Structure 1
Amino acid sequence: MNRTVIGTKNKDVLSDFLDYLLIERGLSKNTVEAYKNDLSKYIAFLDKKKLSVEKSDQSIVRNYLSSLKSISRRSQSRSISAMRSFDKFLVIEKHTDDLIMNNIDSPKKEHVLPEVLDVDVVFKLLELPNQSNVLGIRDKAILELLYSAGLRISELVGLDCSDIYAEDRLVKVTGKGAKQRIVPLGKKALESITYYLNRSWIKLAGSKRPTELFLNHRGKRISRQGTWFVIQKYAKSLEIKVYPHVLRHSFATHMLENGADLRAVQEMLGHVSISTTQIYTHLSQAHLKKAYHKYHPRAKA
């Protein structure tokens, strides 16, 4: 079988697998696209060696994985996960008899400490939204709440108006596994939320009066992507790099730097295990050391 025929057949099998993920397993288009990106590289590797997917074996897989050493461990793990799913599909569809990925281990996770923002940078970020327009008022409330309560974006998006206990300065949060927790609200965050509800929420909601707290310009619940866009937009103005949970990580780090009890921070973040929260103690130390070397006049003497 020549290389062109092999390449076409491999691509057809991959296409069948992607259809299976989309239709039978009901995965989202974005997830399927991620599978496609990872597996297309594996297919290209097989095509180059004039091998069909049916002829691949563990030695070939290991050879391919060795070519991925230059990418991050997380990306390597994602590729291996995609290949495992593809491997199972090949057996189910009787393209092959054996699971060749069975003894292939994912690389150990990298323990990379997330970057956090300095307090003054956070304050600058929180002051950026324009308070003279509807969406700017909403955006400030979003940013203030993310930093004040250390919420995940998904938790903020899921909030309803009834989850804000203004008199007690508390917010009821539904976290991972539908577990609920009560988190204190800072004065600034509560002021921003109250102002948003009185000035912007009413206009965004129109006559519908939805239950959702944060609304998009169509009066619907804002999405995770929409919230992430809000964070990116203002971070870009400050020319700083951010990631979705940057304000959550900054919240935890700043709390610990100012003497907060680790258990209290664990409760506020909604961590099941305190070991998850302990990463912020290391992060706090690293952050303080970085600040020292950056700002102390004798640090570099």
Structure 2
Amino acid sequence: MYASQYNEDEFRRWIMEKYSSTYYANVVSRFFSRYSVLTKENVDLFLLRADVGERTKKNLRCAFNAYRKFLIEKGLLQPEIKQRDREIESMVEEIGRRMLGLYALHTVKQTKEHARRWLYFLKSIGKSPQEADRRDAELFLSKIKEERGAKRSTIASYVGNLRRFCAMFNLPNPFLGIKVKRERPLPRFLEKEDIEKVKKAAREMGEREYALICVLYSSGIRIGEAANLTWGDVDLRGRKLLINVGKTGEGRIAFINEEAALALGRWKLKTRWGNKGDRVFLVKNPYRLTYLVRKIGEKAGVKVTPHMLRHSLGTYLVREGVELRAVQEILGHKYIGNTQIYTRITQEDVERMYRKVMDQAKS
């Protein structure tokens, strides 16, 4: 490694010869006023804090990296060798031990990796986890976004995982006040003609398949709720379903239409497991019902999932003018914000409304 003054003088001369830019040379001076050695990590931090445009940052990064490569080739600078910090690695492994069995393996792996990057970042700026503050957290997230081109959903994952990490070790939690608005895609739903195709395919496959599709579409219940449904929860005469424990952890009543009630009645007469305690759709594992719905979709030539049927009901109800609060109750949403997503009008709706108004005006 080199002393600051030697690096600066050499680098200024090299910059002027290669780029003929006094501006770049002045930026170099600012760099060496803050950092004593020219490392990739120091360059990243310097450019992250630099008040310059993205294109200038990119050009400066190229200049810094080219000069480091030049020094290494001349044998004047040793390549950086990343060394693992035992204390950091030990803490990261402890995360795995504490989370194992409580979280999905993907979540455990992701939390470990995010915590590792956070801890090495803190080390690079000379801070311990106990000393980290909100500004450090924001700087770290900016670095992740700039270097990796991370989307908002990825940044949100970092925030959530690092909140969990800090809480796990009783550390100051600089991520608590940081909010990242996640991108929320429009729900995928089926139009009426596709719903009819799926119903037709299900009817051809059997009574259980037809009853399942009719119940999922007419009630909007989740696939897990359908898997937990017993005959004791079904009121065929009143066309109601008792959903004992939903996603919200509370019981509720779901409604079905006449078609679904008749389909359930026919299925109950045919099955050998029609007692109160028996599961309506026979299986406890919701993934098996999801697979069944997809097979029905394949037969119909329509891509469909259980949640698409739920979204289809929500979209249809809103299109037909049902009040949002009523849709919220029907679908069992805890928060109205989850229901409001169905109010996003499709392009077809916009065109239909336009044609209706303009055609009337013409006549």
Q: TM-score, normalised by structure 2?
A: 0.60
Specify the code of the residue in structure 2 equivalent to 1:115.
Answer: R
Residues 3, 47 of structure 1: 8 Å contact kept: no
Alignment partners' CA distance in 1, 2:239 and 2:218 = 11
Specify the code of the residue in structure 2 equivalent to 1:33.
Answer: H
Alignment partners' CA distance in 1, 2:241 and 2:319 = 23
Which of residues 230, 239, 246 is equivalent to 1:169? 239
Specify the code of the residue in structure 1 equivalent to 2:235.
Answer: Y
Corresponding residue for 1:266? 328
Larger Rg computed on CA atoms: 2
Corresponding residue for 1:230? 292
Corresponding residue for 1:13? 91
Alignment partners' CA distance in 2, 1:53 and 1:172 = 58
Specify which structure has the higher proportion of helix.
2
Alignment of 1:24-173 (within 5 A): 27-28=102-103, 30=104, 32-40=105-113, 43=116, 58=136, 61-67=140-146, 70-89=149-168, 91-92=169-170, 98-103=172-177, 105-129=178-202, 131=204, 136-173=206-243
**In structure 2, do the counterparts of structure 1 residues 51 and 151 end up closer, same or farther at CA, with 3 Å as the change threshold?**
same
> SS at the partner of 2:84?
helix
Corresponding residue for 2:318? 256
Residues 45, 64 of structure 1: 8 Å contact kept: no
**In structure 2, do the counterparts of structure 1 residues 184 and 290 end up closer, same or farther at CA, with 3 Å as the change threshold?**
same
> SS at the partner of 2:201?
coil
**In structure 2, do the counterparts of structure 1 residues 211 and 245 end up closer, same or farther at CA, with 3 Å as the change threshold?**
same
**In structure 2, do the counterparts of structure 1 residues 53 and 168 end up closer, same or farther at CA, with 3 Å as the change threshold?**
farther
Point out which structure has higher relative CO (alpha carbons under 8 A, 6+ apart): 1
Alignment partners' CA distance in 2, 1:237 and 1:37 = 38
- Measured after TM superposition, the shift of residue 254 of structure 1 is 1.2
Alignment partners' CA distance in 2, 1:235 and 1:150 = 17
Q: Which runs of 5+ in 2 are unaligned?
A: 1-80, 359-363
Residues 215, 260 of structure 2: 8 Å contact kept: yes
Corresponding residue for 1:194? 265
- Measured after TM superposition, the shift of residue 146 of structure 1 is 0.8
Deviation per CA, 1:43-70: give whole Å up to 9, x if none.
3687799969985752663344324874
> SS at the partner of 2:243?
strand
Cα RMSD between the aligned structures? 4.0
Alignment partners' CA distance in 2, 1:159 and 1:291 = 41
Deviation per CA, 1:46-95: give whole Å up to 9, x if none.
77999699857526633443248744433432231112212333x44xxx
Residues 149, 185 of structure 1: 8 Å contact kept: yes
Specify the code of the residue in structure 2 equivalent to 1:194.
Answer: G
Between 161-170 and 235-244, the greater mean CA deviation after superposition: 235-244
- Measured after TM superposition, the shift of residue 253 of structure 1 is 1.4
- Measured after TM superposition, the shift of residue 33 of structure 1 is 2.2
Specify the code of the residue in structure 2 equivalent to 1:186.
Answer: N
- Measured after TM superposition, the shift of residue 287 of structure 1 is 5.9
Specify the code of the residue in structure 2 equivalent to 1:145.
Answer: V
- Measured after TM superposition, the shift of residue 107 of structure 1 is 1.2
Q: Percent identity, please.
A: 22
Residues 189, 311 of structure 2: 8 Å contact kept: yes
Residues 221, 331 of structure 2: 8 Å contact kept: yes
Alignment partners' CA distance in 2, 1:239 and 1:131 = 14
- Measured after TM superposition, the shift of residue 122 of structure 1 is 1.5
Corresponding residue for 1:215? 282
Corresponding residue for 1:184? 255
